[in-house]
Structure 1
Amino acid sequence: MTTSYFSDLLVEFLHQQGIDKVAFNPGASFRGVHDSLVHRDNADMAPDIVMACHEEIAVALAHGYHKASGRHMAVFVHANVGLLHASMAIFNAWCDRVPLLVLGGNGPVDAGLRRPWIDWIHTSQNIESVVKDYVKWCDQPIGQRATVESLYRAFKLMNTPMHAPVFVALDFAVQEQPLESGVRLLPATATEGTRLPALGGADLEHLTERLKEAQLPVLVVDFSGRDPETVAPLVALAETLGLAVVDRGNRMNFPNTHPLNVSHTDRALLADADLVIALEVQDLVGAVGSFLSLTDQGLPANGAEIVTIGFNELLTSKWAADYQQFVPVTRAVAADTAETVGRLRALAEDPAGPFAEPAFAERRERRVKTLSAAHTEARTDWARQADEAKGRARIHVSAAVDEIHRALRDEEWVLTNTGSLTIDGWVKKLWPLERPGSYLGLNGGGGLGYGLGASIGAALAHQGDGTLCVDLQADGDFLYTPSALWTLAAYDVPLLVIVMNNRLYLNSTQHAERIAGNRDRDPGRAHIATSFYDQPVDFVALARSYGVHALRRVERIESVAPTVGEAVDHIKEHGKPVLVEILME
């Protein structure tokens, strides 16, 4: 094809970088690019459009798509109004360390080119200031050459650890200009991320020595599983060294059914830990404090050594405190995760290496026996609790989670979203999270409105590969972005949406109960303005109004598995989405 306008070159850039989908709610400020995306002569290179009814949904689509596939879905947002709508979802992606390419239209910076009224209110100086404190890089280039350079720089920085969103504003007038002579794309490889080396030198020697000496070394993982290829080597490393593993669970980092995984067990088990290796851990105080008593400085009271490996210090915001409490650790190393795990594994498995001594082997075997027994005891107890909960009059979250898995256990499923900390906690206790990429984590920023859009994005990434994508969807989060159902239906996305409907903003209700109790007031009024008891939402009717197949509401525990099974059969037969609503306590 012949590139005629600068917006055609922008589409060519997306194609060059392997972007096969773009998401947006349409807006006039990127009408030049929109025309180039739908232009017949660009059909062979233009990414597919995924239309959303809100910018927050569009960004969440790209967020979930990348977490599920490692591929990019670009997002376009309309001028300042679209960027403001998108800002919450961009913040979620920032906290979740997900690289997103967000491209924003902007009215003509040249005031002489503005139409009356609308172009004036939709043009901003320094438009990137809306999100500059929670994107990795942003720019407002003016001119074609400057815009090309900005796109390559943004893409490269986005892909360099630590990963995070980037934003580039595309001037309204520049998009629509004929392509200037000599303006062309750079080589595709120009966007390859800068690489970090593996752990080595004195840092590797120190960690090796400490692992040899430690009586109870603990490996804490959090984000390492964003690269699914790290899971198997990490398991092999833990087995060879007999490491206790605590998985903070922002990704599927380590199989939760593995006997060395002692996450959520009795904290007394690890009270004597003398070495903590934190691999890509975001909240270090929360992680270490889950099993060790800490001083007011965040250090282990028992003097345990902490070594951090990852990229956290390479990305901090001056506005958002998502970097968490400062901990004066023994060693902090910025190193490539996969390469580091591979290097440590090679040392651990070397038959003539530092861990081949009989004394170490004996110590390792004692640890493994103790950890495995605690792991089995904890999982047995969690299963017992879920079974007992099935006898309650109203459906309890643990019982629902267990019965949902019973209906899905023979499928190749991916959990695209688990809705809330309560649901997520029971999933990690009851479901076998064993396959890399089978669990995608929560929203990152703690902001509602993520689940449905991100799950649609993840299901789009798996569309056609036979994977069953499952969204355990909290009702309060759903009500932020219900129009995502339109996108779900319009593109026949094969997603199983299970609405876990307790008719509450549960966390807010719990806080209201706590403050009432602290003040010796009536906790029975905690549901006021935190619940939907008086005006309940019919999610089945809502889904059907958008054209999504929805089954009858489930109100009894014995109906959960059969109804979910029926939904799965429908998805497999028709390749279209299904919604199931479960009314629960």
Structure 2
Amino acid sequence: MSKYFSDLIVEFLHQQGIDHVTFNPGASFRGVHDSLVHEDNAEIAPEIVMACHEEIAVAIAHGYHKASNRHMGVFVHANVGLLHASMAVFNAWCDRVPLFVLGGNGPVDAGKRRPWIDWIHTSQNIESVVKDYVKWCDQPIGQRATVESLYRAFKLMNTPMKAPVFVALDFDVQEQPVEDGVRLLPASATAATELPPLDAHAAGGLAARLRDARLPVLITDFSGQDPRTVAPLTALAETLGLAVIDRGNRLNFPSTHELNLSGADAGFLKDADLVLALEVQDLVGALGSFLDLDDQGRPAGGAHVVTIGANDLLTSKWAADYQQFVPVGQAVAADALGSITALREAAEAPGFATPAFTERRDERVKQISAAHTRARLTWAEQAEEAKGNEIINVAAAVDEIHRAVRDETWILANTGSLTIDGWVKKLWPLERPQSYLGLNGGGGLGYGLGASVGAALAHKDDGSIVIDLQSDGDFLYTPSALWTLSAYDVPLLTVVMNNRLYLNSTQHAQRVAGNRDRDIDRAHIATSFYDNPVDFVSLARSYNVHALPRVEAVRDIAPAVREAVAYIKAHGKPALVEILME
């Protein structure tokens, strides 16, 4: 029986199946902190994962959920903690990851504030810091209101479209004894509202259109958030002979499948006459990757576009992550898994496949398969050729890292940058659901190491090798994540891809200088670390993380990575490999 209201909050976390919470400690949630560590709550309290910065704490929960579809609670200190956390919350918003973020505040009752500190760490409408990029937020005052807010937040974050939520916990309310009549609701009260799938009639009609199309293309982007979609989506594409473009915010479709033309030079796709976009966030970018578009973002050749998903159900008035508006032929808000299942049932029904369709499909599959094979052979050749460079190239490094781990059950938690990510998708066999977790969502640096810690925590006891391909610039935003990595013996393989510069910023500087006919050799100024390089090996060792000597030759990459993997498997602790590269 809870004695204080903060004990009731811990009971709520336990009731909702939250087995970990993460935070950088702060006085504004000291009541909850005490309840989490109180010995009488030991059997129900979630395990604490302490972080050294709120941005790291949120990223840990972000990566944990992507790796496991389980929630890790996040606590943030008053206004200053929430401000630190806000970048990571934005990443999760853009990445459509539901995070349960609870923040201390107050006391709102000014008569109960201590001099100075309680005044500067109390905010009216504290949720306004993140209100434009969370799905719902609240600053309840009183115990009954707080209980209701906790249940509403948990329910809404899991209702499509999923996204973070924030609830402020008043300093004084946390520390009050539980009032008479204040109690938890049934656990089922947080059950998410569900989207229906395509009904049988709509599924049958769309399946028929896909069957009758000359060149139908399937685009997918976030459907792999539910790993159960991968196998039926693959089967649907095979049944209908669909060319597949995977935008890759999750592992949605096997990268090695013959129908996958993501990133391939397949000019014949410009003749597509029907496009099915499943949970696609940036539709104009997706369509423009293989079609000519008019000035309104529509296919210039007249391809009919159908969208299925929940993107239109979640938009920010502040952030334009909803992307360019594209007029489409049909937009359906529906559950991805149920809709895939309904389409597959329609496409596999007796009598659906006519002889004319079967012939057309088989010929199309041959053409798609040939383009897929050409692309992957070309990419492999490019990586092999890059291994002859004097300075280590990204493609060569990515290929050698995979060569070292290919016999392991690996989980790729983070790929660090668009350049690294692009080569991973070209060279690694991304086939198992949730073996590739995608990028950071919001393009905000400071995500990689924290999110990888969370992913590795989710897989801590299953023997998987969780890998962080960590860009150096992103690393320097949150290096103290190494403390959490070491303190909790998180078995993560961190491979620092160190080019000693912010590559994207350097490229922009070169572009501007070139456009203005100026010296592009000065583009590294204030975009690089050349004049004061960071020793990531020594940095890791200072946090008691096992780090191998820095790798400076391609031939040494695979042996170093294998040695790091062997250390992780033998000791159950993290290891770091730094690769110096161009």
Q: TM-score range by the shorter chain?
A: over 0.9
* Bigger mean CA deviation after superposition, 193-202 or 109-118: 193-202
Deviations 1:49-79 (A, max 9, x none): 0000000000000000000000000000000
The equivalent of 2:45 in structure 1 is: 46
Deviations 1:343-394 (A, max 9, x none): 1111111233x3x210110010011000000000000000000000000000
1:162 aligns with 2:161: yes
The equivalent of 2:385 in structure 1 is: 388
The TM-score, its normalising length taken from structure 2, stands at: 0.99
Identity of aligned residues (%): 78
Deviation for aligned residue 1:210: 1.4
Deviation for aligned residue 1:448: 0.1
The equivalent of 1:207 in structure 2 is: 206
Deviations 1:290-326 (A, max 9, x none): 0000000000000000000000000000000000000
Deviation for aligned residue 1:208: 2.4
Deviations 1:539-573 (A, max 9, x none): 00000000000000000000000000000000000
1:432 aligns with 2:429: yes
Deviation for aligned residue 1:466: 0.4
SS in 2 for 1:271: helix
Give the Cα–Cα distance (whole angstroms) in 2 for the partners of residues 269 and 576 of structure 1. 49
Give the Cα–Cα distance (whole angstroms) in 2 for the partners of residues 325 and 305 of structure 1. 18
Deviation for aligned residue 1:269: 2.8
Give the Cα–Cα distance (whole angstroms) in 2 for the partners of residues 277 and 106 of structure 1. 46
Report the residue type matching 2:552 in the other structure: E
The equivalent of 1:277 in structure 2 is: 276
The equivalent of 2:455 in structure 1 is: 458
Report the residue type matching 1:383 in the other structure: A
Contact persistence 2:159–2:192 (CA under 8 A): yes
Give the Cα–Cα distance (whole angstroms) in 2 for the partners of residues 263 and 47 of structure 1. 41
Deviation for aligned residue 1:341: 0.4
The equivalent of 2:358 in structure 1 is: 361
Give the Cα–Cα distance (whole angstroms) in 1 for the partners of residues 574 and 203 of structure 2. 49
* Structure 1 unaligned regions, length at least 5: none
* Structure 2 unaligned regions, length at least 5: none
The equivalent of 1:332 in structure 2 is: 331
SS in 1 for 2:271: coil
1:64 aligns with 2:48: no
Contact persistence 1:107–1:171 (CA under 8 A): yes
The equivalent of 1:446 in structure 2 is: 443
The equivalent of 1:172 in structure 2 is: 171
The equivalent of 1:520 in structure 2 is: 517
The change in CA–CA distance for 1:202 and 1:346 in structure 2 (over 3 A counts) is closer
Deviation for aligned residue 1:398: 0.1
Contact persistence 2:204–2:343 (CA under 8 A): no
Give the Cα–Cα distance (whole angstroms) in 2 for the partners of residues 423 and 509 of structure 1. 16
Deviations 1:103-152 (A, max 9, x none): 00001000000000000000000000000000000000000000000000
Give the Cα–Cα distance (whole angstroms) in 2 for the partners of residues 536 and 340 of structure 1. 51
Give the Cα–Cα distance (whole angstroms) in 2 for the partners of residues 455 and 340 of structure 1. 32
Report the residue type matching 2:158 in the other structure: N
SS in 1 for 2:444: coil
The equivalent of 1:23 in structure 2 is: 22
Deviations 1:149-200 (A, max 9, x none): 0000000000000000000000000000000011000000110110011112
The TM-score, its normalising length taken from structure 1, stands at: 0.99
Contact persistence 1:267–1:290 (CA under 8 A): no
The equivalent of 1:83 in structure 2 is: 82
The equivalent of 1:187 in structure 2 is: 186
Deviation for aligned residue 1:205: 4.2
Contact persistence 1:225–1:231 (CA under 8 A): yes
Deviation for aligned residue 1:212: 2.2
Pick from 391, 397, 402: which aligns with 2:399? 402
The equivalent of 1:312 in structure 2 is: 311
Give the Cα–Cα distance (whole angstroms) in 1 for the partners of residues 316 and 426 of structure 2. 33
Report the residue type matching 2:247 in the other structure: R
Give the Cα–Cα distance (whole angstroms) in 1 for the partners of residues 62 and 302 of structure 2. 39
The equivalent of 1:149 in structure 2 is: 148
Contact persistence 2:264–2:371 (CA under 8 A): yes
Report the residue type matching 1:451 in the other structure: G
Give the Cα–Cα distance (whole angstroms) in 2 for the partners of residues 290 and 141 of structure 1. 46
Give the Cα–Cα distance (whole angstroms) in 2 for the partners of residues 440 and 212 of structure 1. 32
The equivalent of 1:540 in structure 2 is: 537
Aligned ranges 1:129-148 → 2 under 5 Å: 129-148=128-147
Give the Cα–Cα distance (whole angstroms) in 2 for the partners of residues 520 and 267 of structure 1. 35
Report the residue type matching 1:184 in the other structure: R
In the TM superposition, structure 1's runs of 4+ consecutive aligned residues that sit over 3 Å from their partners are none
The equivalent of 2:414 in structure 1 is: 417
Report the residue type matching 2:570 in the other structure: E
Report the residue type matching 2:566 in the other structure: D
